[in-house]
């Protein structure tokens, strides 16, 4: 079963539903080791590995049908349509999910992540029955902590996180729908 995904736009950005064809453009960006300083996983080892990941994500649903996946590649409307990163949400149930993102270092500090994440969140609230989203982030990742705060996420205890365990170095954040104004 394929979940329906749609492209999203701002004046500056285009969020495209992930497709295996994005792998060739995203592989160099995701190979930058600076991205992984505060993450618990490594860059894709090969283009073929990233293509396979995107092939799975294209389905929009986990193989067992339990999770729904919303994955977007973030592309600049200017600069030749360069890929800047990705935004994703994993819906564990109809009402709760996890939210995440990665952006290349060349795009840090330019407001691109905030704009892309805000657009994705707006679409998720409008197109799903989500009541809340969670995000986990290494407590030393100052950029990500600031982004989550700006998006309206608030830190919660591990007891409030319904999707399993998190790394001891991670903090958990929560955003209800509708977000606080």
> Would you state the structure tokens that stand for residue 86, as one six-digit string?
């990705």
Angle (CA) 175 180 181, round 5°: 145
**pTM for the model:** 0.93
Query: Which class is domain 8-133?
Result: alpha beta
- Using CA atoms, how far residue 102 sits from 5, 24, 66, 107, 179, in Å, is 19, 16, 24, 10, 22
Domain boundaries, the chain: 8-133
The confidence score (pLDDT) of residue 50 equals 97
User: Within the chain, which residues score under 70 in pLDDT?
Assistant: 1-5, 179-181
pLDDT at 180: 63
């Amino acid at each position: 079963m394929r979940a329906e995904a749609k492209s999203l736009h701002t004046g500056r950005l285009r969020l495209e539903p992930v497709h295996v064809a994005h792998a060739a453009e995203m592989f160099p960006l995701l190979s930058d080791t600076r991205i992984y300083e505060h993450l618990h996983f490594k860059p894709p080892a090969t283009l073929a590995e990233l293509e396979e990941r995107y092939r799975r994500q294209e389905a929009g649903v986990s193989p067992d049908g339990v999770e729904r996946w919303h994955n977007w590649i973030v592309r600049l409307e200017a600069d030749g349509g360069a890929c800047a990163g990705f935004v994703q949400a994993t819906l564990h149930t109809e009402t709760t999910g996890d939210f995440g993102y990665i952006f290349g270092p060349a795009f840090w500090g330019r407001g691109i992540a905030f704009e892309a994440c805000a657009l994705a969140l707006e679409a998720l609230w409008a197109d799903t029955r989500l009541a809340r989203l969670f995000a986990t982030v290494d407590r030393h990742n100052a950029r990500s902590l600031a982004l989550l705060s700006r998006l309206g996420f608030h830190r919660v205890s591990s007891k409030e996180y319904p999707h399993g365990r998190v790394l001891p170095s991670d903090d958990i954040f929560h955003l209800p729908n509708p977000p606080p104004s």
